[in-house]
Amino acid sequence: MIDGVEKVLKEKGKLIEKEIEGVIPRKGIPNLHDAIWYHMGTGGKRIRPVLAIMACEAMGGKTDKVLPFAASCEIMHNWFLVHDDIEDGDEIRRGQPAVWKRFGKDHGINIGDYMSEKVYALIFSSLKRGVNESTVIRLIEETIFTCSRTAEGQTMDMNLRRNDSPTERDYFQSIEGKTAYYFMHPIIGGCIVAGAKDDVIKKVREFGLRAGPAFQIADDLLDLTEGKGRDEIGCDIKEGKRTLMAVNCYDRCSLDERNNLIRILNKPREQTSKEDVLWVKELFERHDSMDYAAEKARSLVSEAKEIISDLPEELKNILDQFADYLIERKK
Amino acid sequence: MIDGVEKVLKEKGKLIEKEIEGVIPRKGIPNLHDAIWYHMGTGGKRIRPVLAIMACEAMGGKTDKVLPFAASCEIMHNWFLVHDDIEDGDEIRRGQPAVWKRFGKDHGINIGDYMSEKVYALIFSSLKRGVNESTVIRLIEETIFTCSRTAEGQTMDMNLRRNDSPTERDYFQSIEGKTAYYFMHPIIGGCIVAGAKDDVIKKVREFGLRAGPAFQIADDLLDLTEGKGRDEIGCDIKEGKRTLMAVNCYDRCSLDERNNLIRILNKPREQTSKEDVLWVKELFERHDSMDYAAEKARSLVSEAKEIISDLPEELKNILDQFADYLIERKK
């Protein structure tokens, strides 16, 4: 992973937790505060707040000032997970019952709504750390932008799953919305707190528009090779996801194959057999769609690196390692 | 209703619509933008933005400057409705299929999340109207406060519905959270835009802490007399709501009556018969719980009016009429 992530996490992990505790008490209203801390306690790598801190420090900003924003990134991420699990019907999160499964769907929706407000409450608390009003306004603007784009991407992603003639353009529009902006949010916010100039932020965003999709494609590929750390491969196929391999293969295969591919993707998860998964994987291989996706990810990463080539050394270094991690990770 | 509401609505209704269109395009991503405008098109009295405008004008502020905030109140209200309908399983909203019923639960949750961001996007756009950064920061602070309190109240409300020994304290905590802050939000924001002093805002909030519960109690009573404009009375009983009458009667009735009351309230909605509803209504009447509730509402309204007695005349006038409307309305 990126040099220093573990170190920052070890040094600052508790401080991030404390920021969150400042707006979400551990003991409070049953089925709300306990539910949020139950969810936070299931794990998660806390990589987003660490990235925010590292970016801020790299640009010469003070750690103390970025902590509330860093914590807001973690709450944002977990709010999305709480709602995503309801939307997708996922019952398990990080090996434990998802929030909605444990506290009910009605509470689950409301818990996510509450967390979304706490994202802003955390950013707002930056004022107490001496971050000035204009900077807080910029952070809020950036957060509105990121969350809106992500929700738009989520819509496109759900639409795509029900699309029986998906194109590569649909795929990229969807992951650009759902992943690319969200992806760079901690780093951009860290730069804003440090007072980085607009052209730096613009380049970080442009980097994300390549690195985010590269990450997603690598994730799609992992699901067919390593199984994303789960016990089985092909979860995406069972969930009917229109991955880059699927949309590419859809263009290349015969009409019969295409119909069968869509038929399998459209099957309810529990009805998709191992044979179905293997058939689809072989189809992807036969039409070189996995190679196509791997090549696309590599070329996006190299474009991403090109964009940041003249950024300040320390920030560039973080982003470079981030990009490498994306395509080299195994789970 | 309050003098001038109809007039403001006629004059400014289109302007509010335009503000919303500025952040939520009518044509955009299917299952997102169309869904929001579908929901907005089902009706609603747009009373919240009008209250914001009236309060701002009453305090000498410019209408132009308050329009974005006013529009944010309408989106906030409708975001709550979209999520509430999913949480409560309500299939019909304003005579038409609820958003989740028409677009699916997964989209429904995401649509609400998107709307919650647009609340902030609208407030943010006040900057373009010459509202200064400090005032925008105050509006955002107030919005975080209101939405957090409302979500806390929503939790308490859901907990209360599953509570088999509810107290009056539980009831008031729940409606204070769910209704009282939310209730005054448009008026407080209107005052903030107009540059009102903190002590004015404090009094408006205190007013709401009486008027909000009074409104809720009046609403509870209407459900047993006029049926809230629906075809039938007793919807709250079918939904198992612990109203003020229910918690008061619970204290006053015999053990057998209490057990039967809770048994009926806990029945699934479709299993609650007309006889059940009538039995509960008679129980409430026999133990004077409806009179108790009506008296409580009246006394809260008179406390509320007392609090605002020395506010600037024009603002006081709006709040006075608002208070009267609460206990006099028939649906």
State the DSSP H helix or E strand holding residue B93, giving kind and residue range, or none if neither.
strand B92-93
In the block, tokens 């089925």 appear at A31
B97 forms bridges with which residues in the sheet? Answer: B92
Report pLDDT digits (tens) over A264-301.
999 998 999 999 999 999 999 999 999 999 999 999 99
Domain closes at, from A170, A196, A222: A196
Residue-wise pLDDT for A80-127, tens only, equals: 999 999 999 999 999 999 999 999 999 999 999 999 999 999 999 999
- DSSP annotation of B228: G
Q: Is A329 among the domain residues? A: no
> B312: domain range?
213-331
Contact A113/B86, CB-based, under 8 Å? no
Asked if residue A175 is part of any domain, the answer here is yes
Q: Indicate if B64 and B190 belong to the same structural domain.
A: yes
For an interface test with A, give the residue of B105, B114, B136, B138 to mutate (most A CBs within 10 A). B114
Q: How many domains does chain A have?
A: 2
Distance from C-alpha of B195 to C-alpha of A307, rounded to nearest angstrom: 46
Is A306 an 8 Å CB contact of chain B? Answer: no
Instruction: Give the global pTM.
Output: 0.95
Task: Determine the 3-state secondary structure of B92 from DSSP.
Answer: strand
- Does residue B226 sit in the same domain as residue B328? yes
| Secondary structure of residue A239 in the 3-state scheme | coil
Q: Are residues B189 and B274 in the same domain?
A: no
Q: Which residues 27-46 of A are in CB contact (within 8 Å) with B? A: 29-32
Q: Flag whether A97 is in a domain.
A: yes
Report if residue B18 sits inside a domain: yes
Q: Tell me which of B159, B194, B229 is where a domain ends.
A: B194
- A184 lies in the same domain as A207: no
* Residue B173 domain flag: no
Q: Are residues B125 and B221 in the same domain?
A: no
Q: A82 with A144, same domain?
A: yes
State the amino acid at position B77 in one-letter form: H
Statement to judge: residues B219 and B127 lie in one domain: no
Q: Based on the domain organization, do B284 and B231 belong to the same domain?
A: yes
CB A321 within 8 A of CB A3: yes
Of B78, B58, B101, the closest CA to residue B194 belongs to B58
Report residue B177 as tokens. Answer: 């959270």
Strands (E), chain A: 92-93, 96-97
Cβ pair A289, A229 in contact under 8 A = no
Nearest to A281 by CA among A317, A311, A249, A318: A249
**Claim to verify: residue A298 and residue A192 sit in the same structural domain:** no
- Is the ipTM of this structure higher than 0.90? yes
Does one domain contain both A162 and A220?
no
| Beta-carbon contacts of residue B45 (< 8 Å; ≥ 6 apart) | none
Q: What is the pLDDT of residue A204?
A: 97
Q: Chain A residues with CB inside 8 Å of B152's CB? A: 29, 32, 114
Asked if B241 and B190 sit in the same domain, the reply is no
Which three-class secondary structure state does DSSP give residue B1? Answer: coil
- pLDDT 10s per residue in chain B (331 long)? 677 788 888 888 899 999 999 999 999 999 999 999 999 999 888 899 999 999 999 999 999 999 999 999 999 999 999 999 999 999 999 999 999 999 999 999 999 999 999 999 999 999 999 999 999 999 999 999 999 999 999 999 999 999 999 999 999 999 999 999 998 999 999 999 999 999 999 999 999 999 999 999 999 999 998 766 556 789 999 989 999 999 999 999 999 999 999 999 999 989 999 999 999 999 999 999 999 999 999 999 999 999 999 999 999 999 999 888 877 776 5
Instruction: Give bridge partners of residue A92 from the DSSP assignment.
Output: A97
B181 and chain A in contact, CB less than 8 A: no
Q: Which of A145, A165, A196 is the last residue of a domain?
A: A196
Rounded Cα distance, B158 and B174, in Å: 9
Length, in residues, of chain A: 331
Residue B232 covered by a domain: yes
- Alpha-carbon Rg for chain A, nearest whole angstrom, is 20
Residue B144 lies in a domain: no
3-state SS, one letter per residue, for A41-55: CCCCCCHHHHHHHHH
Residue A102 near residue A111, CB atoms below 8 Å: no
Residue B164 within a domain: no
Task: Give the span between the Cα atoms of A183 and A57, in whole angstroms.
Answer: 19
User: Chain A residues with CB inside 8 Å of B86's CB?
Assistant: 105-106, 109
Burial label for B298, CB within 10 Å (0-12, 13-18, 19+), is middle
Q: Alpha-carbon dihedral of residues B275, B278, B283, B286, nearest 10 degrees?
A: -130
Q: What is the CATH number of the domain that holds B61?
A: 1.10.600.10
B6 and B119 within one domain:
yes
